[in-house]
Structure 1
């Protein structure tokens, strides 16, 4: 994969924000990305229950 084809975390978070999966809260020089659990569960019922136990 060429350097131009790779994305960094900023671009990945931008895509997730635009899709409504996360929201960002900025404080000074820090940014906190928060998962929109309710919206995600409405769009994809049960997806978090299926995914998160594997990483808990």
Structure 2
């Protein structure tokens, strides 16, 4: 649980200073990796989200 809290706090800190442009993952202290193919296959429905622009996207 502490790791999740730490990552969320890092994300919150980054978002507080992010003003314009695209989200830059390289500015986060922790590194992220995409989901594995097997996990995407297993959880495709849960990882697929309808966005505000009405497009459905898979988030890994």
TM, length-normalised to structure 2: 0.26
Greater per-residue strand proportion: 1
